[in-house]
């Protein structure tokens, strides 16, 4: 039995996750992770084949910071607005201070002429830990079901 | 069908935009290029090492089944049932003893021979095929197959020259360098880019854009126009190699050339610089060697990120790009981790490649012109002769692409530069 308070706090973490990305608050989004974190986006094809190639792999929070700095200052990408719809989270279990959490997501993307489409959908397979500053992601694996990426992949999913 | 192309220049320094947007051109490309006298990349041998292993892929619009038979020989055939045209094999990869179409269960052996037709003689003397139906006449259409250093190629044409002649010494040397040891496939990335396939082939041949569009490269010194490097082509200018040597310029050289406003290297450093670490693996110290093979592939090394890229046309307005990443079978765990980390540089979300998709899409959208006289300008590195360059600020291999394209399409201008 997972404590209601913990469950609600994890719900809030996921809500903040989607809201920060959708508002392009990447620097705030970064603070949802602990320093010793892993963030990766994985094509479902590779996950099913047991192959290690990702679409994005940050093995610690510094690599996430680098990705954001690069997006802000050293990359050009499609001008877009995202909207995440994240399902109710499923807390699969607790081991020590760590919760195994999954949720499905759908992410729509609109361009700057107002045309949009379903850009990505899949599953978050995550590890959440409680810190003095509330729950944070220690690991987040985005498994993408539509792994043939439309256009390009710039901002995180 | 004939195409009337009014080339403004015989050296392909002006290419009409309508060639990217015409259904007639696209149909002719399928016939004259993808099903014509060219070798296309199909897949890697390492993806299908065992008897019975198969892979499905596309050459242009044509579905292709690559199959390894019981003797270990690789075959390729059109993945389309001889009966009603359905895809015989619906899986991307796997292992089987026989390929059976689900529609009416016609079955084919691993070399493409039709071996089973249910109810061929009907039931109780009623129905089925006439006596003269001969299974031997209804096998899957075969491609010629050739392998080079672990890469499997196919061609639809009997007229295509032998593979190694088609590749030429430049491409053979590049592939031999990259495929120097047994491979281990690490996985795949795919993306669909909404632009004409030719724009990507050109992008791969355009050294000029690399250090301008891809700011990451310049900012962190991975690839700068001030470095030692250049482009090499085969004798017919259909293939291209872009190469560069890391550390052959200084931040000062780059600053002087680019001007302070375009170079952020003083301000930006990576907090985790392992992403940029180059471990020399070959005799030479090239950290960047990316080749492009006409008409559908690229073979790349950037630092220690190794991959093939396959281009599959999907109509006038889109193409799929499939990245197959690999390391070597004798890589230790640390080297594999290093390659996987450097994957952040490439693919749909690569820090040095994401811009290509955007550039192609904005070029495709903005060039849909009604005006047949509107053209692109291709003359960085000079007009006229198409030849190798030992410097980086050039897009000469794009003209090489068009010269071979025009020859195959039968649309060369008078006095065409080849």
Q: How confident is the model at residue B361 (pLDDT cuts 50, 70, 90)?
A: very high
Residues of B in Cβ contact (< 8 Å) with A75: 215-216, 351, 354-355
* Mean pLDDT for the stretch of residues B285-292: 94
CA atoms in the 13 A half-sphere facing the CB of A18: 19
**Structure token pair of residue B165:** 């002649």
Residue B248, pLDDT score = 77
Provide the residue ranges of all domains of chain A, joining segments of one domain with +: 4-144
- List pLDDT tens digits, range B173-212: 999 999 999 999 999 999 999 999 999 999 999 999 987 8
Residue A67, pLDDT score = 96
- List pLDDT tens digits, range A40-99: 999 999 999 999 999 999 999 999 999 999 999 989 999 999 999 999 999 999 998 899
Contact, B324 vs A42, CB < 8 A?
no
Residues of B in Cβ contact (< 8 Å) with A74: 215-216, 219-220, 264, 268, 351
Domain B40-147 belongs in CATH node 3.40.50.300: no
Contact A52 B213 (CB under 8 A): no
**Structure token pair of residue A125:** 């397979």
- Asked whether the predicted pLDDT for residue B263 surpasses 60, the reply is no
Residues of B in Cβ contact (< 8 Å) with A109: none
Is B192 at the interface with chain A, CB within 8 A?
yes
Query: What CATH class has A4-144?
Result: alpha beta
Is B275 at the interface with chain A, CB within 8 A?
yes
Contact, A143 vs A93, CB < 8 A?
no
Q: Report the alpha-carbon distance of residue A145 to residue B183 in Å, rounded.
A: 27
Residue B381, pLDDT score = 94
What chain A residue is nearest to B262 in terms of C-alpha separation? Answer: A74
A-proximal residues of B, 291-330, CB under 8 Å: 320, 325
- List pLDDT tens digits, range A125-142: 999 999 999 999 999 999
Residues of B in Cβ contact (< 8 Å) with A69: 268
The ipTM, to two decimals, is 0.96
Mean pLDDT of chain B: 94
B311 forms bridges with which residues in the sheet? Answer: B321
- Asked whether the predicted pLDDT for residue B262 surpasses 70, the reply is no
Residue B84, pLDDT score = 98
Is B270 at the interface with chain A, CB within 8 A?
yes
- Asked whether the predicted pLDDT for residue B265 surpasses 70, the reply is no
Residue B227, pLDDT score = 81
| B77 sits in which H/E element | strand B74-78
- Asked whether the predicted pLDDT for residue B333 surpasses 60, the reply is yes
Residues of B in Cβ contact (< 8 Å) with A41: 349
Residue B6 burial class via C-beta count within 10 angstroms: exposed 0-12, middle 13-18, buried 19 and up: exposed
Point out the residue among A54, A60, A69 whose CB comes nearest to the CB of B268: A69
Q: Report the alpha-carbon distance of residue B240 to residue B260 in Å, rounded.
A: 32
**Structure token pair of residue B396:** 């000469």
For chain B, the straight-line distance linking the first and the last C-alpha, in angstroms and rounded, comes to 24
Is B271 at the interface with chain A, CB within 8 A?
yes
Provide the residue ranges of all domains of chain B, joining segments of one domain with +: 40-147, 168-409
What chain B residue is nearest to A45 in terms of C-alpha separation? Answer: B188
Q: Report the alpha-carbon distance of residue A11 to residue A15 in Å, rounded.
A: 6
Contact B187 A51 (CB under 8 A): yes
Q: Report the alpha-carbon distance of residue B289 to residue B173 in Å, rounded.
A: 11
Q: Maximum CA pair distance of chain B?
A: 88
What chain A residue is nearest to B362 in terms of C-alpha separation? Answer: A78
- List pLDDT tens digits, range B138-164: 999 999 999 999 999 999 999 999 999
Q: What is the percentage of chain B residues whose pLDDT exceeds 70?
A: 97
DSSP string, B98-151: -EE-TTT--EE-TTS-EEE-TTTT-BTTBSS--TT--GGG-PPPEEEEEEETTE
Is B335 at the interface with chain A, CB within 8 A?
no
Residues of B in Cβ contact (< 8 Å) with A46: 187-188
DSSP string, B261-294: GG--TTT---SSGGGG-----SSS-EEEEEEEET
Is A100 at the interface with chain B, CB within 8 A?
no
Residue B264, pLDDT score = 57
> Among B310, B21, B43, which Cα is nearest to B194's?
B21
User: Homologous superfamily of B168-409 in CATH?
Assistant: Naphthalene 1,2-dioxygenase Alpha Subunit; Chain A, domain 1 (3.90.380.10)
């Amino acid at each position: 039995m997972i404590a209601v308070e913990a469950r609600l706090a994890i719900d809030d973490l996921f809500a903040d996750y989607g809201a920060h990305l959708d508002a392009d608050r990447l620097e705030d989004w970064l603070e949802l992770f602990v320093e010793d974190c892993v963030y990766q986006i994985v094509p479902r094809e590779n996950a099913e084949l047991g192959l290690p190639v990702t679409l994005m792999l940050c093995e610690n929070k510094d690599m996430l910071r680098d990705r954001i700095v690069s997006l802000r200052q050293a990359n050009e990408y499609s001008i877009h607005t995202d909207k995440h719809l994240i399902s109710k989270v499923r807390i699969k279990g607790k081991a020590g201070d760590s919760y195994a959490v999954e949720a499905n997501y759908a992410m729509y993307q609109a361009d700057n002429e107002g045309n949009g489409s379903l850009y990505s959908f899949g599953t978050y397979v995550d590890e959440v830990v409680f810190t003095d500053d509330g729950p944070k992601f220690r690991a987040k694996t985005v498994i993408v079901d539509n792994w043939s990426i439309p256009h390009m992949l710039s901002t995180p999913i | 069908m004939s195409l009337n192309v009014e080339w403004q220049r015989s050296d392909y320094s002006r290419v009409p935009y309508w060639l990217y947007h015409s259904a007639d051109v696209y149909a002719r490309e399928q016939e004259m290029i993808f099903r014509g006298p060219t070798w296309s990349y199909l897949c890697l041998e390492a993806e299908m090492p065992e008897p019975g292993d198969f892979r499905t892929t596309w050459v242009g619009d044509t579905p292709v089944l690559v199959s390894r038979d019981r003797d270990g020989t690789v075959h390729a055939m059109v993945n389309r049932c001889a009966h009603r045209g359905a895809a015989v094999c619906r899986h991307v990869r796997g292992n089987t003893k026989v390929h059976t179409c689900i529609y009416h269960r016609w079955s084919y052996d691993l070399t493409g021979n039709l071996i089973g037709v249910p109810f061929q003689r009907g039931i109780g003397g009623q129905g089925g095929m006439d006596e003269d139906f001969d299974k031997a006449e209804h096998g899957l259409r075969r491609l010629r197959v050739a392998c080079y250093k672990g890469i499997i190629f196919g061609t639809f044409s009997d007229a295509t020259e032998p593979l190694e002649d088609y590749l030429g010494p430049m491409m053979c040397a590049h592939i031999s360098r990259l495929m120097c040891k047994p491979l281990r496939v690490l996985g795949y990335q795919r993306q669909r880019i909404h632009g004409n396939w030719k724009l990507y082939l050109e992008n791969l041949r355009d050294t000029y854009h690399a250090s301008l569009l891809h700011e990451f490269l310049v900012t962190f010194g991975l690839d700068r126009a001030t470095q030692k490097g250049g482009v090499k082509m085969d004798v017919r200018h259909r293939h291209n190699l872009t190469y560069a040597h890391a550390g052959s310029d200084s931040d000062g050289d780059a600053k002087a050339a680019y001007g302070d406003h375009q170079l952020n290297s003083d301000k930006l450093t990576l907090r985790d610089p392992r992403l940029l670490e180059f471990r020399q693996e070959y005799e030479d110290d090239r950290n960047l060697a990316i080749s492009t093979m006409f008409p559908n592939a690229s073979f790349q090394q950037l630092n220690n990120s190794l991959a093939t890229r396959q281009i599959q046309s999907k109509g006038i307005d889109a193409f799929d790009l499939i990245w197959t990443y690999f390391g070597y079978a004798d890589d230790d765990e640390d080297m594999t981790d290093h390659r996987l980390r450097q994957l952040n540089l490439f693919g749909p979300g690569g820090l040095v490649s994401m811009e290509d998709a955007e550039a192609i899409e904005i070029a495709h959208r903005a060039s849909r012109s009604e005006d047949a006289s509107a053209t692109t300008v291709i003359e960085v590195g000079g007009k006229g002769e198409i030849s190798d360059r030992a410097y980086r600020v050039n897009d000469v291999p794009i003209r090489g692409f068009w010269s071979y394209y025009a020859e195959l399409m039968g649309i060369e201008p008078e006095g065409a530069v080849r």
